[in-house]
């Protein structure tokens, strides 16, 4: 008898959890397929810390420059094999959806000349790199592994997060990003 009650409680918990996740998905219900199953949606959009970032010439930059647009913010590094693998798909995503902004943010020590060399080798043409050499943004956002990608709404708030690499120009990813960015 006790075992049946325990199984019923576990089953009910799983059922409620599944329903909660489906309810959270909202307009994305049915779109989180393939690698996009790894996408974690925020129940409430989360503000990002305001930090100073750098461009490739060590000039000060900020994510504030992208307010008003949907942003795919990708934390990566030149030494990270999965990051290098997914970068061309981020480049193709930017080309496919020019109304959003794809921002590769080099986290930690990434020499500008190594970034430039990698982008030339991988034929990356549509992306502008920002750098976070002191992990001023990565650390408070809990970036402990690379790559990690955040999707930011036009207010600059995180609405979704994907840990690990993905093919960002896949039909699944394009469907999710298009659905999120629709008014």
pTM: 0.85
Q: What is the pLDDT of residue 109?
A: 93
Produce one character per residue of 67-100: b if its CB has 16 or more CB atoms within 10 Å, e if not: eeebbbbbbbbbebeebbebbbbbbbbbebbeeb
Q: What is the pLDDT of residue 28?
A: 82
pLDDT digits (tens, 9 = 90+) for 136-154: 999 999 999 999 999 999 9
CATH of the domain at 144: 3.40.30.10
Same domain, 142 and 94: yes
Same domain, 44 and 126: yes
Same domain, 8 and 57: no
Same domain, 65 and 88: yes
How many distinct structural domains can be found in the chain? 2
For residue 100, what are the domain limits? Answer: 31-181
Average predicted confidence (pLDDT) for the chain: 88
Q: What is the DSSP string of 118-158?
A: HHHHTT--S---EEETT-TTTTTTT--SS-EEEEE-TTS-E
Same domain, 105 and 68: yes
Same domain, 21 and 35: no
Instruction: Give residue 27's pLDDT band: very low, low, confident or very high (50, 70, 90).
Output: low
Same domain, 7 and 90: no
Q: Which of 178 and 8 is assigned the larger pLDDT?
A: 178
Same domain, 79 and 137: yes
Same domain, 77 and 38: yes
Same domain, 17 and 49: no
Averaged pLDDT for residues 36-49? 96
Spatial strand order in the sheet of 130-132: 40-46, 158-163, 148-152, 71-76, 101-107, 130-132, 53-54, 60-61
Same domain, 102 and 19: no
Same domain, 2 and 19: yes
55: left (phi over 0), alpha (psi -120 to 50) or beta: beta
């Amino acid at each position: 008898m006790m075992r049946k009650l325990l199984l019923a409680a576990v089953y009910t918990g799983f059922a409620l959890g599944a329903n909660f996740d489906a309810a959270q998905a909202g307009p994305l219900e049915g779109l989180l397929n393939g690698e996009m199953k790894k996408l974690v949606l925020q129940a409430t959009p989360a503000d990002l810390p305001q930090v100073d970032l750098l461009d490739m010439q060590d000039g000060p930059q900020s994510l504030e420059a992208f307010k008003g647009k949907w942003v795919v913010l990708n934390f990566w590094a030149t030494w990270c094999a999965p990051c290098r693998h997914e970068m061309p798909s981020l480049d193709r995503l930017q080309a496919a959806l020019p109304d959003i902004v794809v921002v590769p943010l080099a986290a930690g020590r990434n020499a500008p000349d190594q970034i430039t060399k990698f982008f030339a080798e991988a034929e990356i043409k549509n992306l502008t790199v920002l750098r976070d050499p002191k992990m001023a943004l990565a650390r408070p956002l809990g970036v402990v592994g690379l790559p990690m990608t955040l999707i930011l709404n036009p207010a600059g708030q995180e609405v979704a997060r994907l840990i690990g690499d993905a093919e960002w120009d896949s039909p699944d990813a394009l469907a999710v990003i298009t659905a999120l960015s629709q008014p």
